[in-house]
Structure 1
């Protein structure tokens, strides 16, 4: 193994540099999956305990090493349970980006590109109509993530994007209006879907279950969620647990363009 340089008792080899870069890249990509979500706090907590364990192990504190060693053994199982959704998304990202037609280093330092044929005009027109009629609506848009677990909770449509269809789904007398519509791959995949409700205590009390569900799904996925309030007809956008209230149509267009451009890591915005 070729020695790169030495600092006192510390010897640095080429393989050590590669090792550090690989670990940094993996941590960076996993951080991108959990940032602005409740899972981030748990992730930071696990890292803090693990680094403390390494320090105690290096100082040869046998009792503390034994105690934290037992905790770390159980902690791996706990992490798999707590980060089930994030690990699934992380493994899916690896599966997509390490295929034969892509460069492995693109996975390490760039986001996965997954261009899709999205037409946002029917979405914007439907939002405008629903807002004008004070019809509550909840739309989950995913540019590059599999939401199959949530899609399976509702009724599968797999229909082309259409203003009339979206408005019909959320019409008050429609059997599909109760729940969320999930849009992926440029289509309306399902309606009447059940979403996880956020448990964030900082959410204002005036926000109802529809908004809490929008925040909840945005905390565990990279989806952009659009909400129309049934009481006031106000339109909102939610991403990564952050909600933007009372948006006008041009602002919603900007949110959609920014989301798709960022999700696909493309220079062009969606028209």
Structure 2
């Protein structure tokens, strides 16, 4: 019974394919690309059935379509491919720099605690006055392309400065600020808006922009809602409401140290 002869290599092959499809699902779930991928997968299954039935002409035509479809997939899923490559690069960089971070952890950690607390206090103050804010914190991925859409200020992180930037009559309030290497690098920056159709309706354009940036990079974004006076943290396309604003600084420190 050769047809049930399964080797260890076959098991590994199946597990690798399953892992690949799981990672693809994680990348495209909740986006319009999910429907497109499902359609392409159905076409591929149909091609396999046609080949198994030895329908030569139809199999040849579908084979050509699927062969060209690889290029089409790269074009259609360019954002998802970019996110996946960024994710791999970020993980590699974290592993590569882990030893260096351990050596300088104590000094870097003390400096980080100071500015994360300044950011947290500014967010709490703005939430209490229903002042909208969008604060992007750069990690491994470079955000210079988004910083270039705003005004470079390169200033020390300070609670009053952040509140002044997002004050409704300030010329810099409309947009996001980008924090880079422990400093406010740029303000009034334009972020890419997410096209995820499953974002709850009560989230406005500010939250969509935060989700959009974290879909394209490994940045962490803090959002203060102008309408509801609530604080949220966005990471990897996932938005989480901050239940305890008093612990925001500590939570930011944990996320950035991970």
| Contact kept? 1:179, 1:193, Cα under 8 Å | yes
* Residues in 2 aligned to 1:65 and 1:235: alpha-carbon distance in whole angstroms: 55
Written as runs of structure 1 = structure 2, the 5 A alignment for 1:222-241 is 222-241=218-237
Question: Residues 230 and 70 from structure 1, CA distance in 2 versus in 1: closer, same or farther, beyond 3 angstroms?
Answer: same
Aligned to 1:68: 62
TM-score, normalised by the number of residues in structure 2: 0.70
Question: Residues 152 and 33 from structure 1, CA distance in 2 versus in 1: closer, same or farther, beyond 3 angstroms?
Answer: farther
Question: Residues 60 and 180 from structure 1, CA distance in 2 versus in 1: closer, same or farther, beyond 3 angstroms?
Answer: farther
Question: Residues 73 and 221 from structure 1, CA distance in 2 versus in 1: closer, same or farther, beyond 3 angstroms?
Answer: same
Shift of 1:191: 2.0
CA RMSD of aligned residues (A): 3.9
Written as runs of structure 1 = structure 2, the 5 A alignment for 1:29-68 is 29-35=23-29, 37-68=31-62
Aligned to 2:188: 192
Written as runs of structure 1 = structure 2, the 5 A alignment for 1:73-112 is 73-94=67-88
Shift of 1:8: 0.6
Count of residues paired in the alignment: 246
Shift of 1:234: 2.4
Aligned to 1:147: 143
Higher mean C-alpha displacement, 32-41 vs 144-153? 32-41
* Residues in 2 aligned to 1:88 and 1:256: alpha-carbon distance in whole angstroms: 25
* Residues in 1 aligned to 2:53 and 2:240: alpha-carbon distance in whole angstroms: 49
Question: Residues 258 and 211 from structure 1, CA distance in 2 versus in 1: closer, same or farther, beyond 3 angstroms?
Answer: same
Question: Residues 53 and 194 from structure 1, CA distance in 2 versus in 1: closer, same or farther, beyond 3 angstroms?
Answer: farther
Written as runs of structure 1 = structure 2, the 5 A alignment for 1:10-21 is none
Question: Residues 217 and 48 from structure 1, CA distance in 2 versus in 1: closer, same or farther, beyond 3 angstroms?
Answer: farther
Question: Residues 199 and 181 from structure 1, CA distance in 2 versus in 1: closer, same or farther, beyond 3 angstroms?
Answer: same
Select which of 171, 175, 198 maps to 1:175: 171
| Contact kept? 1:235, 1:248, Cα under 8 Å | no
* Residues in 2 aligned to 1:95 and 1:242: alpha-carbon distance in whole angstroms: 20
Normalized per residue, the structure richer in helix is 2
Shift of 1:220: 4.4
Question: Residues 78 and 125 from structure 1, CA distance in 2 versus in 1: closer, same or farther, beyond 3 angstroms?
Answer: same
| Contact kept? 2:176, 2:189, Cα under 8 Å | yes
| Contact kept? 1:36, 1:240, Cα under 8 Å | no
